[in-house]
């Protein structure tokens, strides 16, 4: 079982729809990251969360530490949102500090149709 699981694997939506991508993890973390990857490979960091909720434009990310679960929401989706969205976690080290390197989920491929 992967330490970071995402669902769904693929998602097709119509422009304007509200989108939710889920991420569950099974390890102790110091932070959770949502990343966006466009064709061609470049990765952009969208959010880094250790608790609660963050909002940036049409994107909202939430995390529930007790349930080890995070969601990424996109409101009023647009074709330019089409990309792979990747959840990643920074492990919590044995001394409570961060080990620093990221463990990634496999990503959710989002396609928004006009």
CA distance 114 to 112: 7
Nearest to other proteins of 97, 114 (CB atom): 97
102 lies in the binding site for other proteins (CB under 8 A): yes
- DSSP class of residue 93? P
CA distance 40 to 70: 26
Of the candidate residues 33, 59, 63, 83, the single one contacting other proteins (CB under 8 A): 33
The DSSP annotation for 37-84 comes to: E-TTS-EEEEEEESSEEEEETTEEEEEETTTTEEEEEESS--GGG-EE
99 lies in the binding site for other proteins (CB under 8 A): yes
Nearest to other proteins of 39, 114 (CB atom): 39
Nearest to other proteins of 40, 114 (CB atom): 40
Q: By the criterion CB under 8 A, which residues form the site for other proteins? A: 4, 30-31, 33, 35, 40-45, 48, 86, 88, 90, 97-107
């Amino acid at each position: 079982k992967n330490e970071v699981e995402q669902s769904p694997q693929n998602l097709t939506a119509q422009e304007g729809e509200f989108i939710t991508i889920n991420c569950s993890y099974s390890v102790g973390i110091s932070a959770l990251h949502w990343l966006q990857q466009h064709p061609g490979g470049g990765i952009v960091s969208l959010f880094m969360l250790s608790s609660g909720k963050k909002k940036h434009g049409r994107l909202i990310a939430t995390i529930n530490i007790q349930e080890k679960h995070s969601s990424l929401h996109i409101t009023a989706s647009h074709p330019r949102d089409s990309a792979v969205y990747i959840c990643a976690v920074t492990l919590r080290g044995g001394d409570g500090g961060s080990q620093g390197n990221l463990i990634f989920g496999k990503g959710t491929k989002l396609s928004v149709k006009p």
